[in-house]
Amino acid sequence: SITPAVVTVTGAAGSIGYAALFRIAAGAMLGHDQPVRLRLLELPQAVSAAVGTAMELDDGAFEQLLSVDIFDDPRQAFDGTDFALLIGAQPRTKGMERADLLQANAAIFAEQGAVLNDVAADDIRVVVVGNPANTNAAIASAHAPEIPAERFTALTRLDHNRAIAQLSHHAGVPAREISRVSVWGNHSATQYPDIFHARVGERTGAELAEDRAWLIDDFIPTVAKRGTSIIETRGASSAASAASAAIDHVHDWFLGTPEGDWVSAALPSPGAYGVPEGLVCSFPVRAVNGHWEIVEGLEINDFSRARIDASVAELADERAAVGDLLPA
Ligand code: NAI
């Protein structure tokens, strides 16, 4: 029999949590044969909502869902956890400066990193969804010295999937025939969706990129600002697509990326592609035996270099803004 996986979801009663939990319970994340124990972490005021969600999970009668437990204490919620989806975060409220938002979240993720270090399973894998995701992941990792840094990742798979969707519409090619898209940098408007290495059906991304007007004025900003257009159009932020991307991220990390393809995820830079060591930056990645590996040896042209550098500069600024919560 397969050892059950312990999955902790923070912000479990929020919009993304609500959309993610049912698919995790149904086997979309770890496979249909993998038994799962869910542990939900919420703020005290949202515990009741999480209990209600657990009642619904119960009513799903999911074959592989062994248990659902609800906590408002991170130390209990992360006890023995194998997979942590860190979705809960302090939202930006009216009049809040960006620096204040970074600080408020840095405090949350510093604590969660330290607790994970103490109580999580040895093979813990973490994906940070709560924004600012990259810097939150860097902070959590900095407070978890015993957990290998590459186990702390941030979600840029939604940006990756959005890039595939836009390419699919533009080229009239189904998503499944599109591979090797790369998102570089920060999960923010400075991110750089790179199609120069992509395969788009019978065509190449490089060929499509020759239409620079489309690339610069349409494709890149549409992908980078998609979150804002969803809010404007839907009247609420992207939740189901974010949940779906988080599930894709953990699925591929655990079960592997398809042969010949790669995906995008933010990992602590080992100094790859000129990205300063330790910045949690989105790269093209493959999962090999349960570990992310950055795709090596891609040629980066001047067009891409300038855009990667701009997003990396923003990551460096974010790190500087929370410097007091990082080890010297
Ligand atoms: P939401 O506001 O609906 O839910 C957030 C939940 O987190 C709330 O229930 C809240 O009580 C809980 N929470 C807050 N602080 C917590 C803490 N310290 N511990 C445990 N729970 C805590 O927000 P939604 O829509 O679910 O989004 C969650 C986060 O994901 C936001 O930061 C959002 O900006 C981010 N996001 C990231 C994306 C990505 O691609 N990386 C995409 C979309 C959203």
Distance of CA 98 from the midpoint of ligand 1 (Å): 16
Domain with CATH 3.40.50.720 in the chain: 5-154
Range from 29-38, 95-104, 209-218, 278-287 carrying the lowest mean pLDDT: 95-104
The fraction of the chain above a pLDDT of 90, given in percent, is 94
280 has which bridge partners?
Answer: 268
The residue from 143, 160, 187, 249 that is catalytic is: 187
- Judged on CB neighbours under 10 Å (0-12, 13-18, 19+), 285 is buried
The fraction of the chain above a pLDDT of 70, given in percent, is 99
Domain with CATH 3.90.110.10 in the chain: 157-319
Q: Are 36 and 64 in contact (CB under 8 A)?
A: yes
State yes or no: is 251 an active-site residue. no
Pair type for strands 5-10 and 36-41: parallel
pLDDT tens track for 87-96 = 999 988 888 8
Q: Are 154 and 280 in contact (CB under 8 A)?
A: yes
pLDDT tens track for 31-88 = 999 999 999 999 999 999 999 999 999 999 999 999 999 999 999 999 999 999 999 9
Residue 11 marked as a ligand binder: yes
| ipTM value for the complex | 0.99
Buried-exposed string 60-71: b where 16+ CB fall within 10 A, e elsewhere: eebebbeebbbb
Range from 7-21, 66-80, 98-112 carrying the lowest mean pLDDT: 98-112
Quote the CA–CA distance of 138 and 112 in Å, as a whole number.
12
- 328 pLDDT exceeds 70? no
The DSSP call for residue 219 is I
Residue 112: enclosing H or E segment and its boundaries? Answer: helix 98-119
> Residue of the nearest CA to atom 25 in ligand 1?
15
pLDDT tens track for 134-144 = 999 999 999 99
Quote the CA–CA distance of 171 and 176 in Å, as a whole number.
13
Q: CB-based contacts of 244: which residues, under 8 Å, 6+ apart?
A: 19, 23, 161
| pLDDT number for residue 96 | 84
What band does 296 get if pLDDT is binned at 50, 70 and 90?
Answer: very high
pLDDT tens track for 214-238 = 999 999 999 999 999 999 999 999 9
Count of CA atoms in the C-beta half-sphere (13 A) of 64: 23
Q: Which residue has the tokens 């599930």?
A: 247
Q: Which residue has the tokens 């059950």?
A: 4
Architecture of domain 5-154 in this structure: 3-Layer(aba) Sandwich (3.40)
What is the best residue among 8, 111, 129 to mutate for testing ligand 1's pocket, by most ligand atoms within 8 Å of CB? 129
Architecture of domain 157-319 in this structure: Alpha-Beta Complex (3.90)
Overall average pLDDT of the 205-222 stretch: 98
pLDDT tens track for 136-188 = 999 999 999 999 999 999 999 999 999 999 999 999 999 999 999 999 999 99
Residue 129 marked as a ligand binder: yes
